[in-house]
Chains A and B, each alone.
Chain A
Amino acid sequence: MRRVVVVGGGLAGLRTAESLRSNGFAGPITVVGDEPHLPYNRPPLSKEALRNGIEVEALSFRRKASVEDVTWLLGTAAAACDLAARTVTLDDGRVLEFDGLVVASGIRPRCLPIPGPAGGRTMLRTVTDAEALRPRLSPGVHVVIMGAGFIGCETAATARALGAEVAVVALDEQPMIRPLGADLGAAMRRRHEHHGVHFHLGHTIESFAGDDRVHSATLSDGTELPADVVIEAVGSVPNVAWLDGNGLDLSDGVVVDSAMQVATDIAPVVAAGDIARHPNALFGPVPRRIEHWNMPTETGRRAGQTLAALLAGDEPDHGPFAAMPSFWSDQYDHSLQSFGMPGLATRVVLADGDLDGPCIVEYHDASGLVGVVGVDRTRETGSYRGQLMGRSDP
């Protein structure tokens, strides 16, 4: 019986395991997860779970009956992989043999080397991170958030709702500038400022001061900010080190083809989720990692289909992969929703409404519409999806 090892116990690992089953693979599947929990939903960790309380059971994904027989090795990470020997070595020394491998080890938050004490600095990626952070977000506490992307901005909104004093420090000119563009980013900044968030944009943190815990942060312009809690949300790093030594391109995640197959003839390997740098027929041949919530499900389905075919001795479907990137974000009582890849745009058009109120913003490049973002306009934003899907037509 052929065996599959899935490295990564998040949504991508779960969806790939489910897809292996729905595509006829009946052999043993072992999923290795570095966290002690079964796959769970991360977006609430910066929003409702951080605000209202964290129960990992409530965050857990429902697992289809087809994966009830999967072996979950949790609280342990993959340390190394030998594709020629078809083994994965775990950090506790165990060695797992496989016939097919799924790379779904995801990403971790980037940690910038900044002088000063480490105490009081935290990331927000896992349930454990959120559980540690939540009791510290209380009225009057000074919170400094590094980074003005989605996690930084959502966390800023939640920390304000919990009564904390919030400053956001980021090198970008506007919050969420890459996905939203400068104008909508500026409008979102105004919404945050209306709720009492202070932005220090175009700056970095040069150093932290304090004994064993941070009590203040000094910015590149010399400003000193009180800082009881520092939340670091300055991007992510793919977890690829365990794949070293196998001749794979690991320069930014793992490169895959449209079937989510990793380019190697040593062993059958697929990748899914945040780590998979994949082509998308909707947006040209350039392979990209897309850290949106819906991509692990989309790439996992395809990866499972491909690996099931490879293990059955069949040719996988190498036809185009065309999945619609989609994100949403809730900040205060505002709901942002997007389809496509607005970050590719060279021209941004306010299609309807007012940037400081409900609105629809279109994103275009030379090929036409590449993305849409709506603020408090879910239904109208959704009506653009069909038009964007049409980009895959020959």
Chain B
Amino acid sequence: MKRQLAIYGKGGIGKSSTASNVAAAMGERNIKAMLIGCDPKSDSSITLLNGRRIPTIMDTLRKKGAISEEGVVFEGFNGVKCAEVGGPEPGVGCAGRGIIVAVQALQKVSDALRDSDVIIYDVPGDIVCGGFAVPITKGMVREAYIITSGEYMPLYAANNICRGLKTLHTPLSGIICNEREAEHEREIVEKFAAALGVPMLAYIPRDKIVQNCERAGRSVIEGEPKSAMAGVYRKLAGRILTEKDKKVPEALEDEDLRKLTQ
């Protein structure tokens, strides 16, 4: 069955690292995967493309007035199709509107969107405006995954994302914990996931291998394929492919969330 998913989470929590490694791991299993980066920084797929920046959909639209699949969708490591929405420099324009325009334009021209088995949208921030919800509202995303650490603020953002998912009637398929060496981290995130009624799909340990590979413009699957970290991402990819236990989440009350992190 075709999987169309979005990865949300607080800025800097590791969405792009996880998304690109998961996509690479899926590619390794001969699954046709596509990664669509929705961050104006346009760096979601950079580690699948040997550190190369690709022309973004919004830049292409601005310069040429139209996009073609060949102009904005590029094949990366393990055959993963990569596209970047792009958007304005910080402090100007409207990145949310960029997602609306770009996603609709891509929908019109892209065979890869139609042909891929798994499409991953890497969406920045925590659904801060209608634009960031467009992959969902346009029916291009059927389920969401949230990445968090055990620290309070990422959990607070994750909880807020759950509010957005409820408004949009979109199911959450699981929580992914990206370790930040907080105290009782695994336990806290497990409790959070349990409170939401979804599984914690992976506990990604903090490991300098990830940063080293990123610096080299590679995913861990490509740069350190035999490492334990690569195994973690492969296992996560497997769980995403098989996970069925999803539900539209009920966000926790602030007080309950605070207690949970104590």
Q: Are A and B a genuine interacting pair, yes or no?
A: no
By a beta-carbon cutoff of 8 Å, the part of chain B in contact with chain A is: none
